[in-house]
Amino acid sequence: MHMHRLEKVWLSIGVSMLAVFLLILGVMTFGQGMAPPNKHVNHIDPTKVSETAPFDQPQIKQIGDNEYEAVMVAYAFGYDPTPMEVPVGSKVNFKVTSSDVVHGFQIPKTNVNVMVTPGEISEVSHTFDKPGEYLIICNEYCGISHEMMKTTLVVK
């Protein structure tokens, strides 16, 4: 198949650019642990969330220096526990599951943005370096009051 010389040059440039993008994303994913959510796949019976540890007791607890674990349940239309509070500089490891339909779990202005699918446990971490009241919202349509589904995390 014949190709114009300049088209060959253009495609080489374009394909190289794509390759560089992929390389950056790949190194971050597999080398630096900056991967999309969930390396490991964890399961839970979605109808028995309230009886299954640790989700029978949704809570935020300190697990180390400046490190917290937030075990959370998303449901139509809210999150447990609420409210939550951590000191500035804390790393929070969120562990979220759903007791009904698919929900979202997003903290605007951070990279915390993960789906909460019934039967699965979503894991995502973030270090909160700035004080403030962080909004946590559902960003996946989940029913008639989807827009009301939110909670907050206060960083002091």
Partner 1 sequence: MRDDRTAENSHDSSSVSAPKEESLKGTFVSVLLLGAFLLLTWLGIFILFISRD
Partner 2 sequence: MNTTFDRKDGRLVLAHIFFAFGALLIGGIAGMLQGMVKGGTITLPANIGYYELLTAHGVLMALIFTTYFIIGFLYSGVSQSMGGSLLPLTKRLGWIGYILMSIGTLIGVVVILLGKASVLYTFYAPMKASPYFYIALALVVIGSWLSGFGIFYHYAKWRKSNKGKLSPLFGFMSVITMLLWQIATIGVALEVVVQLIPWSFGWVDTINVVLSRTLFWFFGHPLVYFWLLPAYMCWYVIIPKIIGGKIFSDSLARMSFILFLFFSIPVGLHHQLMEPGVNHFWKYLQVTLTFMVVIPSLMTAFSLFATFELNGRSKGAKGLFGWVKVLPWGDVRFFAPFMGMLIFIPAGAGGLINASNQMNAVVHNTLWVTGHFHLTVATSVALTFFGIIYWLIPVITGRVLTPRMNRLGIIQTLIWCIGMFIMSGSMHTVGLLGSPRRTAYNTYDDHPDAILWMPYHVAMAVGGIILFIGVLLIIYNLISMMRAPKGNTEYPIGEVAEEAAPTPRYMENWKLWITITVILILVAYTIPILDMLNNSTPGSPGYVTW
Three-class DSSP category at 86: strand
CB of 115 to partner 1, least distance (A): 18
Residues 91-110 vs partner 1: string with x where CB under 8 A?
------------------xx
Structure tokens at 58: 């949704």
Provide the mask over 9-38, with x wherever binding to partner 1 is found by CB under 8 A and - wherever it is not: xx--xx--x---x--x---------x----
Options 19, 111, 131, 147; binder of partner 1; rule CB under 8 A: 111
Q: Does the protein bind partner 1 through residue 40 (CB under 8 A)?
A: no
CA 152/CA 17 separation, integer angstroms: 40
User: In the complex, which residues of this chain contact partner 2 (CB under 8 A)?
Assistant: 1-4, 6-7, 10-11, 14-15, 18, 21-22, 25-26, 28-30, 34-39, 41-47, 76-77, 100-102, 104, 106, 108-109, 111-115, 117-123, 133, 135, 137-144, 146-148, 150, 152
Across 8-149, the runs of DSSP E, i.e. the strands, are: 59-64, 67-75, 78-80, 84-86, 90-98, 103-106, 113-116, 122-128, 132-137
How near is the Cβ of 94 to partner 2 at its closest, in Å?
Answer: 12
> Smallest Cα–Cα separation from 153: which of 97, 76, 91?
91
Give the β-pairing of 67-75 and 103-106.
Answer: unpaired
